[in-house]
Structure 1
Amino acid sequence: MDDGWFGDKYPRKSDNSSLGDWTVDTHKLPHGIDGLVKAAKKHGIKFGIWLEPEMTNNVSELYEKHPDWIIRQSNREPRPGRGGTQLVLDVSNPKVQDFMYQLVDKLMTDNPDVAYIKWDANMNISNYGSSYLTADKQSHLYIDYQRGLRRVMERIRAKYPDLVIQACASGGGRANYGVLPNFEEFWVSDNTEALQRIYMQWGTSYFFPAVAMGAHVGSSPNHQTGRALPLKLRFDVAMTGRLGMEMQPKNMTEEERVFARKAIETYKQIRPVIQQGDLYRLISPYDDLGVASLMYITPEKERAVFFAFKTMHYQGQIIPRFRMAGLETNKQYCLTELNVEAKIRLP
């Protein structure tokens, strides 16, 4: 469930209010979160929910009660971000840390079957200053903020070790090693277009393993680039990371649903190789050769998954030779093509 479910005095109808007021909007959810969780469980679906615990809006009950909880300079009006009202909470403040922990703790206590949290952070620190830190400690804000966040996450992890949490803030610079121990994955970008993702995921993988790199199959035409791409390519690219779906099943054709079902089953079979194997870079998309290639291999070199993508197409194009790497030279391997393309029409 992504956004729009919270707020009492200020119901969340757009991105300009209600952050921090984590109270169910009963007009939208008359049966509460529990009703949705039970409905999902009835249909064999694990339930996930969107949260943005580090943020508030200046149109919110939280801000009305605790204006000193936001990051701001004491002698200047704060400059809001998203929606013209978003502000960042001062996570160096122990009271803010308690508030964030209690938010997640109450959610999970009331709804123990919640399996996944998308932890968003759609604004970076722009009003540099802390009402909690003393004057001589203002330069410590970034460090104390991160330490405060770590303390919150460690408390959450100690009580809910099996809860899957995604750090959804690549655009906000949240993809960093400091938070990796407490999050299962990073959201690389809202741009899920497969050709763009070949480049983004190649770069991201220099720092983070595939198991931490959220890579989802987007719709076609893509919502950001407008480009239409085959479903096979979209799946193949997403399989180089932590595969997910950003598509509405009811808008898919029967052929697409059949292909997607088989592709997901295939990924589950090769997932241990990709998410826990060693990465070998074969041809970089940044070399402008019109192709990109990489492969993952188990440490024992028993299994491997090889990827090759065509990134450009033009008349007279010469495709370079792909040379695999990392395999055992004295072993024989059986090569099997996966995600065999079906006859799926582009929309």
Structure 2
Amino acid sequence: MIRFDERQKTITLHTQRSSYQMKLDGTGVLLHTYYGPRLRGGDISYLIQTEDRGFSPNPDEAGTDRTYSLDTLPQEYSSSGVGDFRIPSLEADCADGSHTVDLRYVRHTIRDGKYALEGLPAFYDGEGVQAQTLEVTLLDRCSGLEVTLLYGVLEEYDLITRAVRIRNGGPSALRLDRVASVCLDFPAGTPDLITMGGAYGREREPVRMPLTQGVHTVGSIRGTSSHQQNPFMVLCGHDTTEDAGCCWGLALVYSGNFQASAEYTQFHETRLTMGIHPFHFSWTLEPGQQFTAPEAAMIFSDRGLGQMSRQFHRAIRSHLCRGPWKESRRPILINNWEATLFHFDADKIVSIAEAASKVGLEMMVMDDGWFGKRDSDFSGLGDWNVNEKKLPGGLAPLARRINDLGMKFGLWVEPEMISEDSDLYRAHPDWAFRVPGRPVTRGRFQLVLDLTRKEVREYVTRNLRATLKSANIEYVKWDMNRSLTDVWSCKLPANRQGELYHRFVLAVYEILETIHREFPNLLIEGCSGGGGRFDCGMLYYTPQIWCSDNTDAIDRLRIQYGTSFCYPCSAVGAHVSAVPNCLTNRSTPMHTRGVVAAAGTFGYELDLNEISGEELEEVRRQIDHFKRCWDVVMKGDYYRLSDPFSDAPFQAWMHVSPEGDRALVGVVMGTVHANPIRPRLCLKGLDPAADYRINGEIYGGDQLMYAGLPLPILNEYEAVQYDIVKV
């Protein structure tokens, strides 16, 4: 709920377990006073103690009061050029050439329901969900720049969302150079910052560090959220653990260049900002025009990192993902890529599907190489016509053969890219991003289509529509296999080229929204070389994302662990692949690969014709088991029971059903040493007053959580899985 206290001039946002407060001060500055455990009420601005600070200037309204300075006050949305030398939320080049923005309160409104954003993904409310919206309008009176701060409250999830709309209410054009979606000022303390680093094949590695004076910044300028960083961060206390302590999680609902910064100030206060990366960003606003910044989502937990993650998971599953697949079991699929690469024909695809259908797999996905002259990375992208040498008669006959096996049919696409060796490029070389007079930069031997141009978007959408209507296609893997370079468009003047990165993301969203609307039952899995665009923005359009091209089970323990800090298991594309693994050359047992993949959407990346009979029986058991427990994995609460970045002898995780009557535990043994100590595992999320059955034995929930469960001595990389049922 949202409450305005007229007397105290405070606006307080309450969720189930948290409160967030701002205050209008006497000069019109909107102060931030509190974000933490839920309060009964009151004005928390008593904590703001002003005093004369050297080299902290004073605004004109302060008169002779040298204790009042924007440089020392906690602000709801920081401005620039008027005495606050911390990270600004907004920077603009005004018509007179100045770089000054001074924001003061004008008005606010409170209404029921959650706001939506035009052309951008955002969390939404739903039937039976208590949600409210707060809009606060601030104004820079000299330039006429009007800033509307949007807040959405989904109370039961402890979720507060923020977004910003900026309108040029002045008589002259101006240019935005920085627009943060969220600004959070915290009082003095000694916090830790957690971000998600990594690289291709080892995405979302948690990095935890104590903040020291200065600015710590992570982000991406690759045109996507990237493998190297993720638009998610956590501020927490030094002593915050999985199960105890305070933490604040922030996720950006955006899929392009982003920047997340934490400034630990001279007075040991902390400012967090997150939004579009200012690198090569500018946006011209003519008089009357408006710009909308992406949404940021915030969750506070006073019960540790685990509770914060579970609240994000619940909110993303129910109020960010859309369509019939968000709550339904996804088909267990097999993909031919690691089995065949580009080298297949219709009979080969059917042979893989035939073997898969016999063990209970439900969908055959044909990956890269089905279109144009696409026998390698060097050619074909952009020519979305079927290669009939491989697939006589097109997609429809193949889809029918797959359907006749009792399986669904899915397809890989990469609509945002173009090969120079393609009919499309020969006809429209200017459709690719390329700076005139400069040599081109390639990634995976391909260029990027300029989707900011209407005719290019229409071409891509038209081809996708025709492909999806040409056969019974029920799934699409939407890939994007390179970072953006040479970002220049002939459709924009030189002084507006800084709009391209953001316009590109908006174009991707527009195409996805069109496909989502025209093919509402289509399941789309997002992908960007695996996890290069794994973010809340894409989850609005694609309820699952290929977590990483690295399918090695041991590496996946780390990747899926880091991913779980924000993103639910229902969003994690995870498959069993062949060994030795193509990226690590490591061999792990088939059972281990299945246990690890079962912590996500579950599927296979191999040719079942090429494995042993014993392994085939193991695959059959894995599929049968996942069909029985999918709802626990996809809809349940997720608990991290160990840290794979530590020296623990095993790695473990746990899913607990929403009703608390079932649970699934996965354990994988790490490096084995001589004369080992017998491991013991303490479970989480059970009812301490209830009894549970594990392998025919009855244990108390309190016993399993507080005393623990003895684990068997396993060989290196072996796994064990426990089904737990309440009795």
Query: Contact 2:652–2:667 (CA<8 Å) still a contact in 1?
Result: yes
SS at match of 1:318: coil
* CA offsets 1:60-90 (integer angstroms, 9 cap, x no match): 111122222111223423212213xx10011
1:274 matched residue in structure 2? 633
The code of the aligned residue for 1:268 comes to K
**CA distance, structure 1, for counterparts of residue 529 and residue 562 of structure 2:** 13
Of 57, 76, 93, the match for 2:453:
93
TM-score, structure 1 as length reference: 0.91
Of 171, 179, 192, the match for 2:551:
192
Give structure 1 regions of 4+ aligned residues with deviation exceeding 4 angstroms: none
Deviation of 1:162 after TM superposition, in Å, equals 1.0
Query: Contact 2:384–2:463 (CA<8 Å) still a contact in 1?
Result: yes
2:424 matched residue in structure 1? 62
**CA distance, structure 2, for counterparts of residue 311 and residue 51 of structure 1:** 37
**CA distance, structure 2, for counterparts of residue 25 and residue 247 of structure 1:** 23
SS at match of 1:182: coil
Deviation of 1:54 after TM superposition, in Å, equals 0.4
Moved more, 193-202 or 21-30: 21-30
Query: Contact 2:531–2:549 (CA<8 Å) still a contact in 1?
Result: no
The code of the aligned residue for 2:597 comes to A
Of 23, 36, 40, the match for 2:402:
40
**CA distance, structure 2, for counterparts of residue 231 and residue 333 of structure 1:** 28
Query: Contact 2:418–2:448 (CA<8 Å) still a contact in 1?
Result: yes
Asked if residue 2 in structure 1 is aligned to residue 367 in structure 2, the reply is yes
Query: Contact 1:91–1:97 (CA<8 Å) still a contact in 2?
Result: yes
User: Cα–Cα, structure 1 residues 109 and 332, in superposed 2: closer, same or farther, change >3 Å?
Assistant: same
* CA offsets 1:113-157 (integer angstroms, 9 cap, x no match): 111111111111021222233322211222111111111111101
1:136 matched residue in structure 2? 495
Greater fraction of residues in helix: 1
**CA distance, structure 1, for counterparts of residue 658 and residue 407 of structure 2:** 33
Deviation of 1:170 after TM superposition, in Å, equals 4.5
2:686 matched residue in structure 1? 327
Q: Within 5 A, what are the aligned runs for 1:126-165? A: 126-165=485-524
**CA distance, structure 1, for counterparts of residue 608 and residue 617 of structure 2:** 11
2:577 matched residue in structure 1? 218
Q: Within 5 A, what are the aligned runs for 1:185-264? A: 185-264=544-623
1:344 matched residue in structure 2? none
**CA distance, structure 2, for counterparts of residue 123 and residue 229 of structure 1:** 30
User: Cα–Cα, structure 1 residues 183 and 257, in superposed 2: closer, same or farther, change >3 Å?
Assistant: same
The code of the aligned residue for 1:79 comes to T
**CA distance, structure 2, for counterparts of residue 18 and residue 221 of structure 1:** 30
Deviation of 1:319 after TM superposition, in Å, equals 4.7
**CA distance, structure 1, for counterparts of residue 675 and residue 500 of structure 2:** 57
**CA distance, structure 2, for counterparts of residue 265 and residue 294 of structure 1:** 21
Deviation of 1:103 after TM superposition, in Å, equals 1.4
SS at match of 1:263: helix
The code of the aligned residue for 1:135 comes to A
The code of the aligned residue for 1:188 comes to C
The code of the aligned residue for 2:546 comes to W
Query: Contact 1:88–1:125 (CA<8 Å) still a contact in 2?
Result: yes
* CA offsets 1:12-37 (integer angstroms, 9 cap, x no match): 22110111011122222222111111
Query: Contact 1:55–1:121 (CA<8 Å) still a contact in 2?
Result: yes
Deviation of 1:316 after TM superposition, in Å, equals 3.1
* CA offsets 1:209-231 (integer angstroms, 9 cap, x no match): 11111110111222222222111
User: Cα–Cα, structure 1 residues 133 and 331, in superposed 2: closer, same or farther, change >3 Å?
Assistant: farther
User: Pairwise CA RMSD of aligned residues?
Assistant: 1.8
Unaligned runs of 5+ in 1: 342-347
Query: Contact 1:121–1:172 (CA<8 Å) still a contact in 2?
Result: no
User: Cα–Cα, structure 1 residues 57 and 238, in superposed 2: closer, same or farther, change >3 Å?
Assistant: same
**CA distance, structure 1, for counterparts of residue 570 and residue 635 of structure 2:** 7
User: Cα–Cα, structure 1 residues 250 and 171, in superposed 2: closer, same or farther, change >3 Å?
Assistant: closer
SS at match of 1:100: helix
Unaligned runs of 5+ in 2: 1-365, 697-718, 722-727
1:345 matched residue in structure 2? none
Moved more, 307-316 or 37-46: 307-316
What percent of counterpart residues are identical?
37
SS at match of 1:186: strand
Query: Contact 1:71–1:87 (CA<8 Å) still a contact in 2?
Result: yes
The code of the aligned residue for 2:551 comes to T
Deviation of 1:269 after TM superposition, in Å, equals 1.1
Query: Contact 1:48–1:115 (CA<8 Å) still a contact in 2?
Result: yes
User: Cα–Cα, structure 1 residues 189 and 57, in superposed 2: closer, same or farther, change >3 Å?
Assistant: same
Query: Contact 1:291–1:319 (CA<8 Å) still a contact in 2?
Result: no
Query: Contact 2:479–2:527 (CA<8 Å) still a contact in 1?
Result: yes
Query: Contact 2:531–2:545 (CA<8 Å) still a contact in 1?
Result: no
TM-score, structure 2 as length reference: 0.45
Query: Contact 2:551–2:574 (CA<8 Å) still a contact in 1?
Result: yes
Greater fraction of residues in strand: 2
SS at match of 2:651: strand
User: Cα–Cα, structure 1 residues 336 and 92, in superposed 2: closer, same or farther, change >3 Å?
Assistant: farther
Choose 1 or 2 for highest CA Rg: 2
Query: Contact 1:72–1:131 (CA<8 Å) still a contact in 2?
Result: no
**CA distance, structure 2, for counterparts of residue 314 and residue 257 of structure 1:** 31
Deviation of 1:93 after TM superposition, in Å, equals 1.7
Of 74, 89, 103, the match for 2:436:
74
2:11 matched residue in structure 1? none
**CA distance, structure 2, for counterparts of residue 176 and residue 146 of structure 1:** 13
Query: Contact 1:188–1:215 (CA<8 Å) still a contact in 2?
Result: yes
**CA distance, structure 1, for counterparts of residue 671 and residue 614 of structure 2:** 26
The code of the aligned residue for 1:131 comes to C
Query: Contact 1:167–1:186 (CA<8 Å) still a contact in 2?
Result: yes
Asked if residue 50 in structure 1 is aligned to residue 415 in structure 2, the reply is no
**CA distance, structure 2, for counterparts of residue 126 and residue 336 of structure 1:** 55
**CA distance, structure 2, for counterparts of residue 268 and residue 197 of structure 1:** 22
* CA offsets 1:282-306 (integer angstroms, 9 cap, x no match): 1111121121111111232121111
Query: Contact 1:289–1:320 (CA<8 Å) still a contact in 2?
Result: no
Query: Contact 1:185–1:212 (CA<8 Å) still a contact in 2?
Result: yes
Count of paired positions: 334
User: Cα–Cα, structure 1 residues 313 and 133, in superposed 2: closer, same or farther, change >3 Å?
Assistant: farther
Asked if residue 31 in structure 1 is aligned to residue 407 in structure 2, the reply is no
